Structure 1
Amino acid sequence: MPLTTTALAYDGIAERWLDKHFDPSNGLAQHERALRFLGAEGEGWALNVGCGCNTRFNSLMRAHHLHIEGIDVSRRMIELAREADPTLSLHHADVCAWQPPRTYRFITAWDSIWHVALKDQRPLMLKLMHALDAGGVFLFTAGGLDAESEHVDAYMGPELNYSTLGIPGLLKVIDDAGCICRHLEFDQYPQKHLTVIVQRL
């Protein structure tokens, strides 16, 4: 399923992340844990991949002296994010084709890159991890399966592609990128929602 389809799907449901039914604490504890691995060094940049329109992680990143850059394939998500936080540097683009303009102390991809086609997962993850500063941290979520997998699901309403390299594949690409896995957790068990924290050596 092409990312243009993903973009149109999220254009249609963007406001869902701003309504009263969305849990505003979703992902906060995981981001707090990941950001602690940065220590107390100086300023730097953070990249939010699939940033969406809900800006709940921004204050956490700014507390660690991070300037925030966001990228999303959905035009409506970008519009709403800009309205919520006009100071953000935002890109409306496909992250698979986009080239990072700098390196980052922190990269987050919360519930986003699993929409990328399986064939593009490994190249994307290598690109993102190579964009980390030395000591930089990458937080992402993935399907916590034992092997690579790809399927289409309409859980959110519109049909969306989901793919994962599987836990062994994720650990392999982390190692190949010259990074180390600092934390791996089934944070919504028994659901197969996997949170991974990676640090560049």
Structure 2
Amino acid sequence: MNPAQIGKNYDTITDRWSDDRFNMKNGIDQHKKAISFVKLRGKALDVGCGRTGRIMDLLAKEGFKPEGLDISEKMIALARSRNPEWNFYQEDICSYPLSEKYDFITAWDSIWHIPLDKQVSVISKLANALNPTAS
């Protein structure tokens, strides 16, 4: 399945990630551990942010200015309605150019959706978008 198809499929199941149906603690402890290694708390990017905002909420609480990126139009629309003050991008990380530097980037539960032949370039892109002075 290509990223556009994945986005359309997620558009049909956005209700599965509602606050009352989804484990909002999923991935939080792992992110807290990772964040503990980061000194600078500027911009952060959540790739595959979905609609819940749980990771972006944590990033904001930890002093970051979070931004979210997701291929699903409906996930992004719901995320924007939840946190209209944050920047969200409805984009395919495989082709979307990251022109900013980030002090923290997460791709929790999203990298495995990327086609195998694109994974090295996407992970390289994410690594290159990290601020080298953040840690």
Give the residue type in structure 2 aligned to 1:85.
Answer: N
Q: How does 1:130-149 map to 2 (within 5 A)?
A: 130-136=128-134
Write out the 4+ residue segments of structure 1 that deviate beyond 3 Å after TM superposition.
none
Q: In structure 1, which of residues 52, 60, 81 is the aligned counterpart of residue 79 of structure 2? A: 81
CA distance in 1, matches of 2:23, 2:8: 23
CA distance in 1, matches of 2:109, 2:56: 16
Shift of 1:65: 2.1
Secondary structure in 2 matching 1:103: coil
Cα-to-partner distance string for 1:126-180 (whole Å, 9 max, x where unaligned): 00001001144xxxxxxxxxxxxxxxxxxxxxxxxxxxxxxxxxxxxxxxxxxxx
TM-score by length of 1: 0.64
Query: Aligned residue for 1:69?
Result: 67
Conserved? CA contact 1:38–1:135, under 8 Å: no
Query: Aligned residue for 1:45?
Result: 43
Of Structure 1 and Structure 2, the greater helix share is in 2
Query: Aligned residue for 1:7?
Result: 7
Conserved? CA contact 2:46–2:55, under 8 Å: no
Shift of 1:21: 2.8
Give the residue type in structure 2 aligned to 1:22.
Answer: F
Taking CA–CA contacts closer than 8 Å with sequence separation of 6 or more, which of the two structures ends up with the larger relative contact order? 2
CA distance in 2, matches of 1:97, 1:64: 29
Query: Aligned residue for 2:125?
Result: 127
Shift of 1:69: 1.1
Conserved? CA contact 1:73–1:92, under 8 Å: yes
CA distance in 1, matches of 2:50, 2:7: 11
Conserved? CA contact 1:11–1:75, under 8 Å: yes
Larger Rg: 1
Cα-to-partner distance string for 1:86-107 (whole Å, 9 max, x where unaligned): 1110111101110112100000
Give the residue type in structure 2 aligned to 1:62.
Answer: A
Shift of 1:19: 4.8
> RMSD of the alignment, in Å?
1.4
Shift of 1:17: 0.7
Structure 1 residue ranges without an equivalent (≥5): 137-198
Give the residue type in structure 2 aligned to 1:14.
Answer: T
Is structure 2 residue 64 aligned with structure 1 residue 58? Answer: no
Q: In structure 1, which of residues 98, 101, 104 is the aligned counterpart of residue 102 of structure 2? A: 104
| Percent pairwise identity | 39
Shift of 1:48: 0.5
Query: Aligned residue for 1:22?
Result: 22
